[in-house]
Amino acid sequence: MNILDKIVKDKRKEVSLKKRLIPISQLDSSVLFDKEITSLAKVLRHSPTGIIAEHKRRSPSKAVINQGLNVQDVAQGYQNAGVCGMSVLTDGKYFGGSLDDLLLARASVNMPLLRKEFIIDEYQMLEAKAHGADVILLIAAILTKTEIKTFSEFAKSLDLDVLLEIHNEKELHKSIMPSLDMLGVNNRNLKTFEVSLETSKSLSRLIPDDFVKVSESGISSIEAIKDLKSYGYKGFLIGENFMKTNNPGASASQFIKDLKS
């Protein structure tokens, strides 16, 4: 069983337990549930930089990245740096995140927030909305075509933006549908954890222009972004590069300054 299969197996147990503990009616009545959504896709379409900065404490591939930072400080630092949006990892077991991180980020900033999670149930989208997310992530590798359609349409009914993540051509072909806003190419092979920007480049020509193209993982240089922009990418998800520093906000700020110069 590879790491992705393990994560999904554990996620199914976790969601099943949460559904018994916290009824949907409780999520629906959250103060944040009726908050107006800020579309990340729209921001990316008009941004000169396209940076989506991530809050990530650890990962299965890197173990600890940064456990010592306060999520509010990271969020404010990113917003001050001028990023387009922030991705907040909410998986606890493998990434050290939680829905509280999303809530704290939402209380600190007004930019678009992406709930980065392994979504296998509509309940998780209601959670995302109740905790202040503007965008949800769907991962093609763990969902059927029918699930992608059902989940993305449900997200749109909640007025959430949808970022669909793919790793290869097969996943792309089962994923193209009008209920998606952004198509993200993950340059990391989730089975081997190897990273190659060639994945984004080779898949770019197959992604219709109706979708905002986002490149994810392994982006650590200005050159990489300039290169990927020439392939039509508008969004660039960067996590470890900023989070491994003592001040992710300052790191993002310098990166964006260099990118604009």
Q: State the angle between helix axes of 71-81 and 248-260 in degrees (0 to 180), rounded to the nearest 10.
A: 10
- C-alpha–C-alpha distance, residues 26 and 28, integer Å: 5
Q: What architecture does CATH give domain 3-260?
A: Alpha-Beta Barrel (3.20)
Residue 32 has pLDDT above 80, yes or no: yes
- C-alpha–C-alpha distance, residues 72 and 79, integer Å: 11
- C-alpha–C-alpha distance, residues 161 and 42, integer Å: 10
Cβ neighbours, 10 Å, residue 103: 20
Partners of residue 222 on adjacent β-strands? none
Q: Rounded mean pLDDT of 135-152?
A: 98
Nearest partner of 243 among 233, 231, 234, 255, judged by Cα: 255
The answer to whether the CB of 120 falls within 8 A of the CB of 8 is yes
Q: Flag whether the pTM goes above 0.75.
A: yes
- 171-175, 187-191, 222-226, 250-254 — which is least confidently predicted? 187-191
Q: Give the number of C-alpha atoms closer than 13 A to the C-alpha of residue 204, restricted to the C-beta side.
A: 20
Confidence category of residue 11, pLDDT binned at 50, 70, 90: very high
Confidence category of residue 199, pLDDT binned at 50, 70, 90: very high
* pLDDT the model gives residue 236: 98
- C-alpha–C-alpha distance, residues 237 and 159, integer Å: 22
Q: Which residue has the higher pLDDT, 57 or 44?
A: 44
For residue 129, give every residue at least 6 positions away whose Cβ sits within 8 Å of its Cβ, in sequence order, or none.
Answer: 27, 30, 32, 33, 158, 160
For residue 153, give every residue at least 6 positions away whose Cβ sits within 8 Å of its Cβ, in sequence order, or none.
Answer: 179
Q: Give the number of C-alpha atoms closer than 13 A to the C-alpha of residue 47, restricted to the C-beta side.
A: 24
Residue 240 has pLDDT above 90, yes or no: no
Residue 61 has pLDDT above 80, yes or no: no
Residue 104 has pLDDT above 90, yes or no: yes
For residue 244, give every residue at least 6 positions away whose Cβ sits within 8 Å of its Cβ, in sequence order, or none.
Answer: 65, 66
Nearest partner of 124 among 105, 142, 107, judged by Cα: 142
- What positions carry a catalytic annotation? 54, 56, 116, 165, 186, 216-217
Q: Where are the domains of the chain?
A: 3-260
* pLDDT the model gives residue 10: 98
